[in-house]
Amino acid sequence: MELQRRIRDGDNTAFATLYTRYKQDVYMYCTRFLGRSGDADDIFQDVFIGFLERVRKGMEIESIPHYLMRSARNRCLNAIRNRKHHRSLDEYHCHPCHRQDEANEIQEIVQNALQRLSDNIRETFVLREYAGYSYEEIASLTDVSIGTVSKRMYSARKQLRAILLNQ
């Protein structure tokens, strides 16, 4: 609340502090959920800029990390929906370019493996492994039960084990 008040009062360093605090979690979520595409970077930007505009307009946000992650999630889900409808050749053409730029081979392998999971399972896995969310937090964010989260985590690990360790 204090940071939000300072942002409203025009203290830009307060936004920088907040951004530094949460950017890594949001970025990891966007990039690992959507994969290394331009969508993730755009959504990442939109999340923080949207947050800044809302706070400056006087909106009180109860839980900043929850708001940021939910905002990122909604935008990512929209992007996935749009992607399925408008999957273009560019995406496939760009992918090898990213691959060439990728310095870390493990990152490349992990990225590809994640993209082979279904959206729900991948999202749950990313929230748990990359953003450090607990089962309860994931359940609250994705509007499912804790049992479902547990099932999805198991399913994700089983598939990833098959993809990454048996390939």
Looking at beta carbons only, is 88 or 104 nearer to another protein? Answer: 104
Whole-number Å distance between alpha carbons of 27 and 131: 9
Contact between 151 and 121 (Cβ < 8 Å): no
The two structure tokens encoding residue 92: 């496939």
Question: Of 34, 19, 33, nearest to 64 (Cα)?
Answer: 19
Looking at beta carbons only, is 73 or 159 nearer to another protein? Answer: 159
Q: Is 131 one of the binding residues for another protein (CB under 8 A)?
A: yes
Q: Of the candidates 17, 112, 120, 140, which one interacts with another protein according to CB under 8 A?
A: 17
Q: Is 59 one of the binding residues for another protein (CB under 8 A)?
A: no
Whole-number Å distance between alpha carbons of 24 and 29: 8
Looking at beta carbons only, is 45 or 74 nearer to another protein? Answer: 45
Q: At what angle do helices 119-129 and 12-34 cross, to 10 degrees?
A: 130
133, with CB counted inside 10 A (0-12, 13-18, 19+), is buried
- The CA–CA distances, whole Å, from 82 to 2, 22, 48 equal 37, 26, 21
Looking at beta carbons only, is 81 or 146 nearer to another protein? Answer: 146
Q: Is 64 one of the binding residues for another protein (CB under 8 A)?
A: no
Window of 61-69, 77-85, 86-94, 102-110 that interacts with another protein by CB under 8 A = 102-110
Q: Is 158 one of the binding residues for another protein (CB under 8 A)?
A: yes
Q: Name the residues that contact another protein, by CB under 8 A.
A: 12-17, 19-21, 23-24, 27-28, 31, 41, 44-45, 48-49, 52, 104, 106-107, 109-111, 128-135, 146, 150-151, 153-154, 157-158, 160-161, 164-165
